[in-house]
Structure 1
Amino acid sequence: MGIVRKQSAYSLIYTYIGFAIGAINILWLFPHFFSKEEFGLTRLMVDFAIFFSALSTLGSLNGLYKFNPFYRSYLGVDKNDLPFLSLMASLLGSVLFIAGSLIFEGFLARKFGHNSPLFILHYKLVIPFTVSYTCIMMLEGFCWIIKKTIISNLVKELFFRVTTSVLISLYIFKVISIDTFFNLYSLSYIPAVIVLAYVVFTNGGIGICSRISYATKKLYKKILTFVSFHFSGMLIGILPKTIDGILIAGLSSNGLANLAIYIIPNYLVTVMEVPQRSMLGITTTLIAEAWKNNDRKKIEELYHKTSLNLLIIGLGLFGIIYPNMDNVVRFLGPGYALAKEIFLIAGIAKLVDLGMGMNAQILSLSRYWRFDFYTSAVFIVVNIILDFFLIKRYGLMGAAYGSAIALIFYNLMRCFYLWRLLKMQPFTSKTLLTILFAAIAIVAAFSLPSIKNLLVDGGLRGLIFILLFAPAIIYFDISEDITAYYRTLLSRLQRK
C-alpha cells in the first residue's frame, strides 16, 4: 500500500503541475497570440488524435493489462510474446488509420471545408499527431505493466504541455512562422515517445519476443473475445471527450472560432474532475475487493463517501471558478463572452456526475456489468444525436446543452439501475446541506461589487467563497474524510 500511496501522490502532483502549464497555454498564450481559428485548430487536432489513436490500438492495451500477469508468470520476460503482439496490433491499426485518412480526405474536406477551412489546409498533420499519440498510449501501457507509473504520468502530463509552451514562445518571438508552428505541433508528442521508449526498453521488464508462444495458441480465442468487447467499451469512454469539438468544427458556422471559445469552459470543467481521476484507482480496487467478499455494506459506504467527497470538492472548485467567469471574459476579451454560460451549463452537469460517486465502478464490477456497457452505449448515441441537432440549430450553445443533457441522463440511468438491481443510492441528508452551503457561498461571492483590478477582484471572490464554504463543511462535520484530514493538518501545524 505504501507504493500505491506514493505513486498516486506523485501522479497527482504531476497532474496538477501539468494542468497549471496547460492553463497558461489555454487561458493566456493561445487566446492572446493566436487567432480563434488557429487556437481552435490546435484543439481539433488533439481531439482527432485522441479518438483515432484509440482506434489504432485495436483494443490491444486491454488485452495487455488483463493477460500479461499470466504470460509473465508462465513464460517469463524473454518468451512473453504478448508485448510484441500488442505492438503489431497497434502498427496494423496505425497503417489502417493512415490509409483511411488518405482515402477519406475528400469526404472530410466536404464536411469541414465550409466551416473550418483552416483544418482542411492542415489536415495531413493529423496523421503524425495521431500516430505519435498511439505510440504514447502503447508505451504508457508498457510502463504500467512494469510498474513505472510515475515516469509515465510525468511524461504524459508534462512533456506535451511544456513542448507546446516552447513552440508558442518561438512563434510569439517570431522565430518560427505559423505554418512551421503547426508542423512542429503535429510532432509535439515525439519527445515523450523517445523518453518513454528509453524507459521501457532499457528497463529489462519488457521483452520483444516474436515467436508465438503456447500460451497464445491456447488463449487466443479468449483474448480476442475479451479485447473485442472491451475495445468497444474503451471507445465509449473516449468518444464523449472528443465528439463535441469534432462536431462543433464540422457543423457550426465559424467552426474553429467557436471551438476556441468552447475550449475555455471545457478546460475549467476538466479541472473540477481532477480529484475524481486521482480517486479512481484506489476506490476501484476497494470496490472490487468488496464485491469479491460480497461486502455490500462496504460498497454502500464507498458509494456514499465518494459521492459526498467528490460533490464537496466539485462544488468548492465550481464556487471559486464560476463567480470569476466575468473576470475570465474580461481577461480574454468580449469575443469569449459565451464561455461564462457554457461553463455554467457544463459545470452543473459535471457536479451531477461527481455527486453520483463511483456508480460506474460499482455497476461494472458487479454481476450486472453488462448494464454498464449498455448505459454507456446509450449515452454515446444520445450524446451524438443531441449534439448533431442542437449544434445545427443553436450553434455553440447547442453543444453545451447537448453534452450536459446526455451526461445527466447517463448518470440518472446508472443511478436507476443501481437502485433497481442492488437497492443502492448515493445520497444522504448531508448532500442537501452541502449544496445549500455552496449556494449561499456562491451568492455571497457574486454580491461583491466589481473591482477594476482583475487579480484583486478574483482573489476576493474566491476568498469569500472559501471562508464561507470550507468552515461550514468542517463545523458541521459533513465529510468524515475531509474533517479528519483537516484535523491532521491542524495538528501538524500546531506541532511546528
Structure 2
Amino acid sequence: MGIVLRQSASNVVITYFGFGIGAVNAMFLYTTFLSKMNYGIVSFLLSAANILMPIMALGAHNSLIRFFAYCKSEEQRERFMSFMLWLPLLLVIPICSVGYIFYDEIAALLAEKPEARHYMWLIAVIGFCMAYFEIFYAWVKVHMKSVFGNLISEVLVRILVTAMLICVHLGIMRQEMFIYCLAAAYGLQLLAMMAYAFKVRMPTFTMVLPDNAKEVLTYSLFIIVSGSVATLLLDFDKVMIPFYTKWDDNAVYSLAIFIATVIAVPSRAMLQIIYPITARLMSEKKMDEVDDLYKKSAITLQVFGGLVMLGIFLNIRQMYLIIPGNYASGTMAVFLIGLSKFYDVILGNNNAIILNTKYYRWALLFGVMTVVLMIGLNMLLIPLYHINGSALATLITVVIYNSVKLFFVVKKLGLYPFTINTLKSFAVILLTFLLFYFWEFPFHPIVNIMLKSVLITVVYVYVNYKLAVSAEINALIDQSLSRLKRG
C-alpha cells in the first residue's frame, strides 16, 4: 500500500482542491450569476454528455488498464496502445453522423422543452472530449503517473468555469454564450491531457492489430454497459427530471448531488492508483495480495468517507443558509444521495476486481438490470416526490446494484472486503452522528460550520485511532506526528 498511500495522498489534496473550486462554482457562482433555468440546462447537458461518454470511448479507457499489464514486449505495447487510440472511432463516427442527420428529431425527442433544443449538439461535443480525455488519463495511469493527470482532471475545467462565470457577472459574456464556452473548456482539458500523455509515452501509430485484438474488442464492448452504469446512476436522473418538472428543480437537484458527491472524493483519489495495481495483481494470479488490497482499501475508504459524510450531514442546514437563492429544498436529496455514495465508497476496489476477471461479462447482466430498475423507479417516484423521489430511486438502485456485485465477488472469488474493523467504523460513525446532529452553535453559519467540523474531526479521528480501525491510517498519523516532533 506504500505507493497507493503516497499517490493517493497527493491525489486527495488535488481532488479536494478541485472540489473546493467546484464548490465555489456550484454553491455560489452558478447560483448567483446564472438563472435557475440555465443552471438546470447546464446540468442536463453535462449529464447527457456523461452518459454518452462511455459509449463514445468504446470502453477503451478500461481496456487500456485491463490489458496493458499483459503486454510484455515493447512491440506489443506499441501495437496495443495505438489500437486503443483509434478503437473509439468505430462508434464516434457513426454516432456523430446519425446525430448530424437526425439532429432535429433527436433534439425534439430529448428536449421537449424548447429552451434547450438549440444546445443539444453540445452533448456530442462534450461527450467526445470526455471520452478521449478518459483514454489519455488511463494512458498515464498505467505508467503510475496519476497525480498530474488528476490535476488536469479535477482542476482545469473548474478554473475555466470560474473565469467564465465571472465574465458572465461582469457582462463580458451572456449566459447563453457561457453554455457554448463550457464545451470549449472540455476541449482544452482534452488537449492538456493528451499533451501530458504523449509526454509520458509518445505513441508509435500503427494499423497492425495487437495479438489479443479480438479479446480486447470483446471486453471493450461488454465494458461499455458496465462503464455506463456508474454514469447512469449519477446522471440519468438529471436527464429525466426536466421531463417531469421544471428546469429550476434540476438546478436544485444538481447542487444536492454535488454536495453529496464530495463523500466519494477519497475513493476517487485512491482508486485511480488502486485500479492499475489490481489489474496487475489479477494478471499475475496473486489472489492473496488482491484480497489484502481489497480489505485495506475498503476500511481505509470507509474511514475517510465516513468523516466526509459526517461533515456534510451534520452541517447541511448551515450550508444551505449561506448558499444564494432558494436551494434548501434539496436537503433530503443530499442525505439520500450521500448514503448511496457512502455505500459505493465502502466496497473499495470491488469494481476493479470484477472487471479484471473472466466473469466480467456478468457486468453486462448487472448493468442492464440496474438501468431498467433505475429508469422504472425514477418514472414512478419523480412524479410522486419530485427531486426527493429521484434521490430515493438512486439510493435503492445503488444498494441493490452494489449488493449484487458484492455477493458475486464473495461467491465466485472468495474475496470479502469486510472485517471486524468495518463494524467498529460503523459504530464510530453512528455515535458521532448522534452526538453532533442536534448540536448547533448560536453564531454565523460559516463560524458554526468551522467549529463543528473541527470538533467532529477531532473526535472522529481520535476514536478511530484508539480503536485501530485502519492500520494504514494509524501508520500515516504516527508518521505525521513523528515529523512534527522532529520539526
* TM surpasses 0.5: yes
Q: Structure 2-normalised TM-score?
A: 0.88
Would you say 1:123 and 2:120 are equivalent positions? yes
Partners of 2:82 and 2:203 within 8 A in 1: no
Q: Which residue identity lines up with residue 245 of structure 2 in the other structure? A: S
* Secondary structure class of the residue paired with 1:186: helix
- 2:134 corresponds in structure 1 to 137
Inter-partner Cα distance in structure 1 for 2:289 and 2:72: 33
Inter-partner Cα distance in structure 1 for 2:148 and 2:431: 42
Q: Which residue identity lines up with residue 251 of structure 2 in the other structure? A: A
Would you say 1:28 and 2:28 are equivalent positions? yes
Q: CA deviation at 1:341?
A: 0.6
Q: Which residue identity lines up with residue 459 of structure 1 in the other structure? A: M
Distance 1:426 1:125, change over 3 A: closer
- 2:233 corresponds in structure 1 to 240
Would you say 1:485 and 2:482 are equivalent positions? no
Q: Deviations over 1:351-375 (max 9, x none)?
A: 2333334333444445544445433
Can you give the 5+ residue segments of structure 1 that lack an aligned partner in the other structure? none
Partners of 2:381 and 2:389 within 8 A in 1: yes
Inter-partner Cα distance in structure 1 for 2:295 and 2:33: 46
Q: Which residue, 358, 361, 366 being the options, matches 2:349?
A: 358
Q: Percent identity?
A: 22
- 1:44 corresponds in structure 2 to 44
Inter-partner Cα distance in structure 2 for 1:293 and 1:129: 37
Partners of 1:50 and 1:242 within 8 A in 2: yes
Q: CA deviation at 1:178?
A: 1.6
Inter-partner Cα distance in structure 2 for 1:464 and 1:430: 23
Q: CA deviation at 1:417?
A: 3.0
Distance 1:447 1:289, change over 3 A: same
Inter-partner Cα distance in structure 2 for 1:466 and 1:2: 25
Q: CA deviation at 1:403?
A: 0.6
Q: Which residue identity lines up with residue 224 of structure 1 in the other structure? A: L
Inter-partner Cα distance in structure 1 for 2:124 and 2:352: 34
**What does 1:422-437 correspond to in 2, within 5 Å?**
422=413, 424-437=415-428
Partners of 2:44 and 2:238 within 8 A in 1: yes
Q: Which residue, 237, 253, 267 being the options, matches 1:262?
A: 253
Inter-partner Cα distance in structure 2 for 1:92 and 1:373: 20
Q: How many residues are treated as equivalent by the alignment?
A: 487
- 1:316 corresponds in structure 2 to 307
Would you say 1:157 and 2:154 are equivalent positions? yes
C-alpha RMSD of the superposition: 3.2
Q: Deviations over 1:20-59 (max 9, x none)?
A: 1111111111012211111122222222222223222333
* Secondary structure class of the residue paired with 1:15: helix
Distance 1:185 1:364, change over 3 A: closer
Moved more, 344-353 or 118-127: 118-127
Q: Deviations over 1:388-435 (max 9, x none)?
A: 322233321121011100111112223333444455544344433332
Q: CA deviation at 1:452?
A: 4.4
* Secondary structure class of the residue paired with 2:326: helix
Inter-partner Cα distance in structure 1 for 2:294 and 2:415: 8
Q: Which residue identity lines up with residue 39 of structure 2 in the other structure? A: F
Q: Which residue identity lines up with residue 465 of structure 1 in the other structure? A: I
Inter-partner Cα distance in structure 2 for 1:7 and 1:431: 24
Q: CA deviation at 1:141?
A: 4.3
Inter-partner Cα distance in structure 2 for 1:274 and 1:113: 32
Q: Deviations over 1:207-228 (max 9, x none)?
A: 233xx33x55x54434432332
Q: CA deviation at 1:188?
A: 1.2
Distance 1:379 1:75, change over 3 A: same
Inter-partner Cα distance in structure 2 for 1:82 and 1:220: 8
- 1:15 corresponds in structure 2 to 15
Distance 1:406 1:69, change over 3 A: closer
Q: Which residue, 430, 453, 458 being the options, matches 1:462?
A: 453
- 2:100 corresponds in structure 1 to 102
Partners of 2:65 and 2:142 within 8 A in 1: yes
* Secondary structure class of the residue paired with 2:25: helix
Q: Which has the higher contact order (CA 8 A, sep 6+)?
A: 2
Distance 1:465 1:393, change over 3 A: same
* Secondary structure class of the residue paired with 1:205: coil
Q: Which residue identity lines up with residue 429 of structure 2 in the other structure? A: A
Would you say 1:399 and 2:385 are equivalent positions? no
Inter-partner Cα distance in structure 2 for 1:388 and 1:357: 31
Inter-partner Cα distance in structure 2 for 1:82 and 1:303: 28
Is the radius of gyration larger for structure 1 or structure 2? 1
Inter-partner Cα distance in structure 2 for 1:258 and 1:359: 33
